[in-house]
Structure 1
Amino acid sequence: MKWEGNRESDNVEDVRGSGGGGGGGGFGFGGRSVGIGTIVIALVGGWIFGINPMTILNIMSGGGGAVPVQQQQGQAPGVPANDRGSKFVRVVLADTEDVWTALFREQGGTYQKPALQLFSGRTQTACGAGQSATGPFYCPADRKVYLDMSFFQLMEERFKVEGEFAQAYVIAHEIGHHVQHSMGLTDKVDEARQRGTEKQANAMSVRLELQADCFAGVWAFHANQSRAILEQGDVDAALKAATAIGDDALQRQSQGHVVPDSFTHGSSEQRARWFKRGLDEGKVASCDTFAARQL
């Protein structure tokens, strides 16, 4: 992926090494206790490329409000401000800003740029505690993407996915969730989840996640048109990443069998196909997973 020398975003908060603080006991939301089974579902649902599992727990347990916390700010002491990894993140974030600002403007809207926080280990968010084990996530309550870059190492070691464009896909997917929130889709889906059964809630989650995959492809289409970012092998690497974190692939790896009704992100084939659709067509309208009869 060609990215060096491109504009860097000012909307990255680097708190790596500052520690997240805060231990605690069990989880409680909306006055209800949360069992271990619910926690497992939330962790599986939010572990890879999704919304913070704390948000999912809040929804599943009947809660609706954000968890008020004190947000850490600023550059952590001892962390290089211009290490290659953080520069890469700032460039990718800037690229998503440029693409989505232009696309929103075409429709007469204004794109509100999200912040992205780099953390290590644990951090506090308006959606609850964030941990590196849950993977990257977007918090609608504070409109921020949270990323522990050790996740990229996990991609290489566990899923055998390498390449900077695959990493950019991860970031672009989370920005896709911000785009959904900016369009009002996230709130509507959350409301529908709370009204429906667990199976229906899972199905809505799948459509939301696949749309974020498609939005990541839309970003890549326009970024490549404007700045020629793609190199040979980049698309294959991103498709491999999408395939590796399909619900069916993760379930086979963790439990040896697949339970489609429990999917929250979509199958490997679906994730790769919707990303490719966005990449091939470059149109937001092509990403309407909620209107699609077949995913």
Structure 2
Amino acid sequence: MRPATLLGLAGLLVAVVLVGGCTRQVDDTRMAPTATPATVSVRAPVGRMVQAPEPVKDKFLLYNQLYRSGQIAAVRCSLPDAQLVNERAMIRYATAFVACLDRAWEPVITRAGFDFVRPSAVFAAPPGTRTACGEMEKDVYGMYCQDNRGIYFNWPEYVVEGSYDQKDAENSVQWLIGHEYGHHVQWLTGIADQYGERYWAARGAARQAEENRSEMQAHCFAAAVFGANRETLRIRGERLAHYGHPGYDRHAADMVNFDRWMRQAFEARGPAGCNTWPAPAKQVSGV
């Protein structure tokens, strides 16, 4: 369900189109000059029908005000320092990071003209867990569900042994949650609804391309957060090299697209570089 502001915004846009694109009609017979008896017959002008322009196709995907709403806020994050070795520690850490993302994203969402609504919760979801969107599958690490605005976290996949690896675990959790929060941003701004329309209308490779655009955009939104918060999240050294995404070989051939989208979002520090929807299919593979 879309927040009220999106519905209101859609209505407002329709109103603007109708007022701005149509010539206002009047009753031509009442405005016609009175004929002079037995001399000249004056005919009322014939009105020309003006048709309202068609709604812009994929308006929320291609021309979303979010892309022009500026940089994401740099915020202070108070994150737990307990080792990420069990469910309680993982969910506590992920929930704290969502609170950081709330503060970072709210100003940008509001400037774009949408209502800001927080995700409902971070839920522990090992494989087999029943979620509001079905069963959590084995190879899925995280999932955002629009039905209840919940972020589902397959936390056992992020457990690492030894204190030395805890920083890598934190980085990976931040990236996953940042990505799933990106899907929440898509829902808030009407992108998710129109993506769904395009996805179900497509077939085969075209459908996969639509899914790639959605996933790459969610990655891109996460990278924009890291770029805006490179100081507050202390993204430097190895973390800077990967822009908060440790474990990927950024020079691998199949990661070229991923690298390009992440780089431009990180440097822009906002969603301006994340419009994946007009991009050719070959430019959004590698998610």
TM-score, normalising length: structure 1? 0.58
User: Which structure has the bigger radius of gyration?
Assistant: 2
Shift of 1:206: 0.8
- One-letter amino acid of the counterpart of residue 220, structure 1: F
Tell me, yes or no, if the aligned pair for 2:140 and 2:154 is still in contact at 8 Å: no
Partner of 2:24: none
Q: Deviations over 1:186-241 (max 9, x none)?
A: 2212221221211110011111111111100111122335x243242113343444
- Closer, same or farther in 2 for the Cα pair 1:138/1:198, shift >3 Å? same
Q: Report matched runs for 1:19-168 at 5 Å.
A: 81=88, 83=89, 85-114=90-119, 115-153=121-159, 162-168=168-174
Moved over 4 A (4+): none
> Does residue 273 of structure 2 align to residue 286 of structure 1?
yes
- Report the counterpart of residue 74 of structure 1 in structure 2: none
Contact 1:136–1:145 under 8 Å retained in 2: yes
Unaligned stretches of 5+ residues in structure 2: 1-74, 81-85
Deviation at 1:274, TM superposition (A): 1.5
Match of 2:230 in 1: 224
Q: Conserved in 2, the CA contact under 8 Å of 1:243 and 1:272?
A: no
SS in 2 for 1:141: coil
1:212 maps to amino acid: A
* Percent of pairs with identical residues: 22
Displacement of 1:124 after TM fit? 1.7
TM-score w.r.t. the length of structure 2 is: 0.59
When residues 278 and 242 of structure 1 are mapped into structure 2, their CA distance, relative to the original with a 3 A threshold, is farther
- When the two chains are superposed, the root-mean-square deviation of aligned CA atoms in Å is 3.2
Residues 144 and 183, structure 2, Cα contact 8 Å, conserved in 1: yes
CA distance in 1, matches of 2:101, 2:115: 14
Matched, 1:212 2:218: yes
Deviations 1:131-159 (A, max 9, x none): 454221111222111002112248x9xxx
Q: Which runs of 5+ in 1 are unaligned?
A: 9-78, 250-266
